[in-house]
Structure 1
Amino acid sequence: MSPRTKPPFRADHVGSLLRPAALKDARDKFAKGALDPAGLKAVEDREIEKVVRKQEEIGLQLATDGEFRRSWWHFDFFRGLQGVEMISAPPIKFHGVETKAEAIKITGKIGFAGHPMLEHFKFLKAHCRVTPKMTIPAPSTFHFRQGRAMVSKEVYPDLDAFFADVANAWKQAIRAFYDAGCRYLQIDDTAWAMMCDPKEREHSRARGDDPDRLPAIYREVTNTALSGKPSDMTMTMHSCRGNFRSTFIASGGYEFVAAELFGKVNIDGYFLEFDSERAGGFDVLRHLKGDKQVVLGLVTSKSGTLEKKDDIKRRIAEASKFVPLEQLCLSPQCGFASTEEGNVLAEDEQWAKLTMIVELAQEVWG
């Protein structure tokens, strides 16, 4: 079988990596006022260079910065947009644990006028010998968790105008990353998978939205955001059911959104969570249109226990009944540290999993 020379790669990963002790220590000192911004950046730079080298050493064809400059997978991007205010709010409840008490509120017109993460990407690119991969949250995640309740009715009496501005802001962001040299950009999208859980749909209604209409709305917003993507830029979407300290929020297969997500969203590839029964079966992939790649998230990032290769190969074979093997790739089901706290496993266990994914890709696809 022919090797993949463009992303997503046969052996890939979602993006975030466990923060090393030196970085955690520096961020703690910075929060306490014992380290200035320049001192923190110096530590971040050093640790990012190390983690890029490590990804290259184990044989990956891509490298991310591990999201080492972020505290959250999404809020750090959101707060760099116009019209967004960070507020204290009840923590997000995962199974058995809660996040920090932060949320966003839309208090002005949404816009994009540059972003600190553009410089973050440039640093990554300058230190990569492989393909540099950047990750940002998807436009639908800017709405789903907050919903109508967190969007100012004075600024946006009509949510159609809100969604139009969100789509345009992401469209500008995508172009800005392209102009910065990014050719592999991933949008992280928990909203699609969350909607597959009836409980989460009820929460959505309580926030003032109609979850039955959201898949079509999110498809339109995403496609509008992607409409200006240059042809030599690969964009993928990662979708999961929550990832914080090895816990989760939602359960349920992709069937509720499959027709819209896999058949009508103009993305180049999907990173899909399939590491547990909570994610449902592969039959939903029958809705896939065209030659899009599906990156199977069969290796869990929530536990340090290393999967058996034969088990993973068997599941890849099962998925190939619905999607040709040529269109399949392999990765963990999510990042290892969607927030700076990280999942409950050791760094050597993280690297063992990524190394195994590289080995499996060689064994399955050649």
Structure 2
Amino acid sequence: MTTIPFRYDQVGSLLRPQALKDAREKFKEGIISKKELTQIEDQEIIKVIEKQKKIGLQAVTDGEFRRRWWHLDFIAGLAGITVYDFETTAFGITTEAQGTYVSGKLAFDKNHPFLEHFKFTQKHAGKIIAKQTIPGPNMIYLDSFILSKHYHENPVYKEKSEFIKDLISTYKEVVQSFYDAGCRYLQLDDTSWGGLFDERFRGLIQQNGYEPDELIQEFGDITEAILVDKPADMAVTFHFCKGNFQSHWLYNGSYDTIAERLLKIEQFDGFFLEFDDERSGSFDPLKNIKNQRIVLGLVTTKTPELEDKKQLIERINEASRFVSLNQLCLSPQCGFSSTHEGNKVSEDDQWAKLQLVVETAKDVWPNE
């Protein structure tokens, strides 16, 4: 199998085109039907796949165009999950948001819509690899169980161990179901690990009766368990950032606290890690990596300014002091549109940044 992640890669979400935003608004207002909305989504996804091919990406996504949120749409499709609306200031702005909580026995629904979504992407990807992104299991563990007021008011499981058992079995079925659908490049997006080093979230975790340092081990154990039966010809990567909502972030802190446990999860073929600003800290935690690839998220999706290629190459060389250059790759630090609204950049900015990733990587690794 071609080495995944690729030297020049992407996280997954892309800015929603205006035609899609307009269609979503019309559907919300009852002007168009769900079928009509899906037809517009199909058209825009086909277009965005072709754009990705045109700039030379070796794996394409659907831009997450069918989603409202990068994670909730998938989680909401699982059995035993309830979605609710609330207002948040967590990202430094006041905005309407949605959350989830465990409201019943957790299980995978074989009719989960993401499976058909993937098949559509793969069909139109043609000879290019179709990459599928989904939230990692610890997103549910942290947000829908540990920190969930709704769950604690109406607990479903007598023991935490029972929930973890169901979480693992659910995600093992998820992985196998995507494989059976033809997926050979699956990415787990899991920002929950940030709550284990951010001081405010560590405090919230403790208030709910859990120890963040113990959860570091547990998060790792859960992740390893869901991948224990991963098919040999299926690449699975991990993406972590400190939050990405309309160019705002959620977590503060460095990778040092989690790096040793996270980077030794050998079932992952690679790790997409955020290194686009001083908040990311040094490359020192990369010394914990085993044989997997590290995809350096050096190009920011939060601001429109285009990075300098020379400086990117200097930073890649700096990272190579901690891990072999042969194990390094390049990508944006996150998606461009983790939610339907998107970051504070234009589509032209987005494509210029992705093109820069491709060109820079080709300069660093000219034979690939």
TM-score, normalised with respect to structure 2: 0.95
Identical columns (%):
47
Give 1:80's aligned residue.
77
Distance 1:149 1:11 in 2: 36
Aligned residues of 2:255 and 2:281 also touching (Cα < 8 A) = yes
Task: Please report how far the alpha carbon of residue 146 of structure 1 lies from its aligned counterpart in structure 2 after TM superposition.
Answer: 3.9
Aligned residues of 2:266 and 2:292 also touching (Cα < 8 A) = no
**Offset from partner CA, 1:60-101 (integer Å, 9 cap, x none):** 111000000000001000110010011233426102x14423
Give 2:131's aligned residue.
133
Task: Please report how far the alpha carbon of residue 208 of structure 1 lies from its aligned counterpart in structure 2 after TM superposition.
Answer: 3.6
Task: Please report how far the alpha carbon of residue 264 of structure 1 lies from its aligned counterpart in structure 2 after TM superposition.
Answer: 3.7
Distance 1:112 1:301 in 2: 32
Give 2:348's aligned residue.
348
Name the aligned partner's letter for residue 104 of structure 2. Answer: G
Distance 1:10 1:154 in 2: 45
Distance 1:207 1:23 in 2: 40
Give 1:256's aligned residue.
257
Task: Please report how far the alpha carbon of residue 154 of structure 1 lies from its aligned counterpart in structure 2 after TM superposition.
Answer: 4.1
Q: Secondary structure at the match of 2:213?
A: coil
Q: 2:99 matched to 1:103?
A: yes
Give 1:286's aligned residue.
287
Name the aligned partner's letter for residue 138 of structure 2. Answer: S
Distance 1:30 1:230 in 2: 39
Distance 1:288 1:148 in 2: 28
Name the aligned partner's letter for residue 80 of structure 1. Answer: G
Of 47-56 and 80-89, deviating more is 80-89
Aligned residues of 2:11 and 2:334 also touching (Cα < 8 A) = yes
Task: Please report how far the alpha carbon of residue 149 of structure 1 lies from its aligned counterpart in structure 2 after TM superposition.
Answer: 4.7
Aligned residues of 1:147 and 1:204 also touching (Cα < 8 A) = no
Give 1:65's aligned residue.
62
Q: Secondary structure at the match of 1:101?
A: strand
Q: Secondary structure at the match of 2:171?
A: helix
Name the aligned partner's letter for residue 110 of structure 1. Answer: L
Aligned residues of 2:100 and 2:143 also touching (Cα < 8 A) = no
TM-score, normalised with respect to structure 1: 0.96
Name the aligned partner's letter for residue 20 of structure 1. Answer: P
Unaligned runs of 5+ in 1: none
Q: 2:169 matched to 1:168?
A: yes
Give 1:148's aligned residue.
146
Distance 1:113 1:146 in 2: 18
Task: Please report how far the alpha carbon of residue 267 of structure 1 lies from its aligned counterpart in structure 2 after TM superposition.
Answer: 1.2
Q: Secondary structure at the match of 2:68?
A: coil
Distance 2:285 2:198 in 1: 15
Task: Please report how far the alpha carbon of residue 171 of structure 1 lies from its aligned counterpart in structure 2 after TM superposition.
Answer: 0.7
Change (3 A) 1:99 1:160: farther
Task: Please report how far the alpha carbon of residue 212 of structure 1 lies from its aligned counterpart in structure 2 after TM superposition.
Answer: 1.5
Distance 2:46 2:228 in 1: 33
Distance 1:6 1:277 in 2: 30
Distance 2:199 2:301 in 1: 25
Of 165-174 and 204-213, deviating more is 204-213
Aligned residues of 1:268 and 1:292 also touching (Cα < 8 A) = yes
Distance 1:69 1:264 in 2: 30
Q: Secondary structure at the match of 2:96?
A: coil
Q: 2:31 matched to 1:30?
A: no
Aligned residues of 2:20 and 2:44 also touching (Cα < 8 A) = yes
Q: Secondary structure at the match of 1:213?
A: helix
Name the aligned partner's letter for residue 349 of structure 1. Answer: D
Question: Paired residues, what number?
Answer: 361
Distance 1:147 1:207 in 2: 10
Q: Secondary structure at the match of 2:84?
A: strand
Give 1:306's aligned residue.
306
Change (3 A) 1:164 1:261: same
Aligned residues of 2:88 and 2:95 also touching (Cα < 8 A) = yes
Aligned residues of 1:149 and 1:208 also touching (Cα < 8 A) = no
Distance 2:16 2:256 in 1: 34
Counting only pairs closer than 5 Å after superposition, residues 1-366 of structure 1 correspond to structure 2 as 5-91=2-88, 93-95=90-92, 97-114=93-110, 115-129=112-126, 130-150=128-148, 151=151, 154-264=155-265, 266-289=267-290, 291-366=291-366
Unaligned runs of 5+ in 2: none
Task: Please report how far the alpha carbon of residue 354 of structure 1 lies from its aligned counterpart in structure 2 after TM superposition.
Answer: 0.1
Distance 1:164 1:90 in 2: 32
**Offset from partner CA, 1:131-159 (integer Å, 9 cap, x none):** 10000000011122344353356421211
